[in-house]
Amino acid sequence: MVTFKINSDSPALIKILMSITTGILLTASFPPFLGWTAWIALVPLLISLENESSSSAFKLGFLAGITHYMTLIFWIVVVLKQYGGLGIEISITILILLCAYLSLYPAVFSFLTRVIPHTRFPALSAAMIWVSLEFIRSWMLSGFPWCLLGYSQFEQIRLVQISDITGVYGLSFLIISVNCLLSRIILDKYSKLSKRILRLETATVAIILFMTIFYGQLRLTESLENKQGQTINAVVIQPNINQAIKWNPDFQKETMELYHRLASSKYDSKPDIIMWPESAVPFFYQDAPAYSDIISKIANDSNSWLLFGSPAYQVSDQHMTRYYNRAYLISPESETADYYDKVHLVPFGEYVPLKKFLPFIDRLVYAAGDFASGENLMPLNLPDIPLGILVCFEAIFPELARAQTRNGAQILANITNDAWFGRTSASYQHLAMASFRASENKRPLIRCANTGISAFIDRYGRITSKGGLFTEEVLTSKITADTSFTFYSVHGDVFAVTIFFICLIKMIHLIYVHHKK
């Protein structure tokens, strides 16, 4: 049992409340709430850490984390109970366990800020620690980079442009630096930090912030001549099909008629491509000639390419069947031109990790699929325009969009089914994260969701148009392909990796010095 024994003169309850406040402010930073709260969210926690032992700091950070994640990803209960078929007790237990794991990151952050309190530049050092921990979270245990702090600023387009150099981690670095400076300024009369060092660090962060805004403005006003390719007319179909009946065979005909009706309403606009969401076709497209004919007719009658999701399977030479979450591309001549199999699957949603070693875990995931991972990240080719496909939550993994871009994608396409989230904040958060894939690679992104939120996102990460949530929508837009490469496209997370190794070297040095003593 975790107990709080606060070593400072301030009452323990006040510090606990300050830690909880940080958790609430962090959640409020993400959509559909207020992004500006991110710039002050950590201040209460950082103030509460003053004069605390490292163990107490760990507990306060953990409390801030558990408050934040329980209010941020509460929608997991909706997914597991309503659609996963699990009881409320098991669903809440799984949520608590996941939140406890995620809370270790702010706990370690708080711990380390107390372990190395005498660093010359505490604000910048704390920002480096935070970014290092976010980077670890992005790949640890297959990765869960949901709502990294920088994503809270997705609407601040000038700031967002730095992501084509640093990825989302650059914004996280800035936000933590400002939070730490504010806390140091508030606590300055109680600390040993000299006025000169404080002014120097404040000036440094101010210069970085100014340069970030200046760079963003330059990016937004740059000439796009010779950087962009062909323009296509895209149509996005958001059918708003109830997840509870989506896979019921009795509704398959009705589903296909709905797609036909919505698609045909835009034939006059002469679309170059029509997009349907992930698993739009609730059957094996490869094995359903009656319904496949409807799909072929839509592609043929519209004289456009058709991109849609469908489950698929492949039987190996050993008579083993492997299932895939697939995106098909159908030509105007009604031929299957190409397909993409989802590479990064959802743990416990599309596969069970370590299933051979943890057979007992099956009882928790009756609704989980048993999909195999795709084998490549190659774009699907329209005439002269390669499309980089991201299926569902692949959009929150920047390395996948970057790989598609490096492999030639000129437009990114994210097909998803966010119906699992219900009417929660998750759909808004998912869209915000997807927008960064456009700004990082300077590629326009088309997003097609079953129940929302479908959107068109330009090369700068601006959401130029979007549909509603749980509404039937048909969106159209002209999309211009892009062929240029950004620093991030070429070099990836070099910013986060560099910071991670700097922190690692510093930790090793501190351990060495402590051991010598």
Q: Which residues are catalytic?
A: 278, 342, 392
Q: In what order do the strands lie in the sheet with 455-457?
A: 380-382, 385-391, 411-416, 445-449, 455-457, 463-466
416/436 Cα distance (integer angstroms): 16
Strands 455-457 and 305-315: unpaired
Beta strands in 331-462 (DSSP E): 336-341, 380-382, 385-391, 411-416, 445-449, 455-457
Quickly count: other Cβ atoms within 10 Å of residue 195's Cβ: 8
Please state, in angstroms and as integers, the Cα–Cα distance from residue 282 to each residue in 291, 309, 348, 359, 517, following that order.
10, 9, 20, 28, 66
Burial per residue of 223-254, b for 16 or more beta-carbon CB atoms within 10 angstroms, e otherwise: eeeeebeeebbbbbbbbbbebeebeeeeebee
What are 510's two structure tokens? 């501190």
User: CB–CB of 275/234 below 8 Å?
Assistant: yes
User: CB–CB of 468/453 below 8 Å?
Assistant: yes
Owner of token pair 């490869």: 286
Nearest CA among 172, 152, 170, 148 for reference residue 161: 170
Collapsing DSSP to helix, strand or coil, 390 comes out as strand
CA 294 to chain centre: 34
Nearest CA among 152, 154, 146, 147 for reference residue 178: 152
Collapsing DSSP to helix, strand or coil, 451 comes out as coil
